[in-house]
């Protein structure tokens, strides 16, 4: 399998862990990793922890092509995993439609998270969860659904406090301009909205979180 790990201003070393660990559990014999130059030390260390032996200093659509078709140095893989920008996403889509290409995980878009919270949630934790995705890029979207107006207010205040200490605050602020804190009539409405929206990441911070999991579709 091939792993594509974005680099740039925010190297996603956590993506290495989330992709390479399942690959090891699944028994994949050969795991190939590509990341744009210069590869961040954090990414290299995470790859070492996960036992990734083949690492290539290449990013973008050309990395996807190399993984899908093989090159003089990069081996061809059966399936490609990992997020990227619009060019990487389109490259993954195209190679997945060719018989001589490679399968892919999914066409990943901009980062998004939806948090369902009630009065039992910790506002600072909710704010951190929202900002963890907002800082990924200006096109990220973060949404809070809560039946508690007081929680919504406290989360908004916590977001502002944490933004003051966030290295990527400017990026997060751009994302927050298109994000929402929505006060609903009850948790059932939160679930209904979440099911219609279908977020990339869903976080449930409620007193009866396990009960809500059963009605998430």
Paired tokens of 46 = 């995470």
The residues, ordered by sequence, that sit 6+ positions from 103 with a Cβ below 8 Å of its Cβ are 78, 79, 80, 96
> Using the 8-state DSSP alphabet, how is residue 33 labeled?
E
The residues, ordered by sequence, that sit 6+ positions from 191 with a Cβ below 8 Å of its Cβ are 116, 212, 215, 216
| Residue 95, SS3 per DSSP | helix
For residue 154, which phi and psi values (nearest 5 degrees)? -65, -35
Give the catalytic positions in this structure.
200-201
Paired tokens of 205 = 């911070």
Cβ contacts of 72-78, under 8 Å, gap ≥ 24:
74/32, 74/34, 75/30, 75/32, 76/102, 77/1, 77/2, 77/30, 77/32, 77/102, 78/1, 78/102, 78/103
């Amino acid at each position: 399998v091939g792993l594509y790990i974005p680099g740039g201003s925010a190297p996603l070393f956590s993506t290495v862990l989330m992709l390479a660990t399942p690959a090891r559990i699944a028994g994949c014999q050969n795991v190939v990793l590509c990341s744009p130059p210069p590869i961040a030390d954090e990414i290299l260390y995470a790859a070492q922890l996960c036992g990734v032996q083949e690492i290539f200093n290449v990013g973008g659509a050309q990395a996807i092509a190399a993984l899908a078709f093989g090159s003089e140095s990069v081996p061809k893989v059966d399936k490609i995993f990992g997020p990227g920008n619009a060019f990487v996403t389109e490259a993954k889509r195209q190679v997945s439609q060719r018989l001589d290409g490679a399968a892919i995980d999914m066409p990943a878009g901009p980062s998004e998270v939806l948090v369902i919270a009630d009065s039992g949630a910790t506002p600072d934790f909710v704010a951190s969860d929202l900002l963890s995705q907002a800082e990924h890029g200006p096109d990220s979207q973060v949404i809070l659904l809560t039946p508690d107006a007081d929680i919504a207010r406290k989360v908004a205040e916590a977001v502002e406090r944490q933004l003051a200490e966030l290295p990527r605050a400017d990026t997060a602020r751009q994302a927050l301009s298109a994000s929402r804190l929505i006060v609903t009539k009850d948790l059932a409405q939160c679930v209904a909205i979440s099911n219609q929206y279908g977020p990339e990441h869903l976080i449930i911070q409620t007193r009866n979180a396990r009960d809500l999991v059963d009605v998430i579709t």
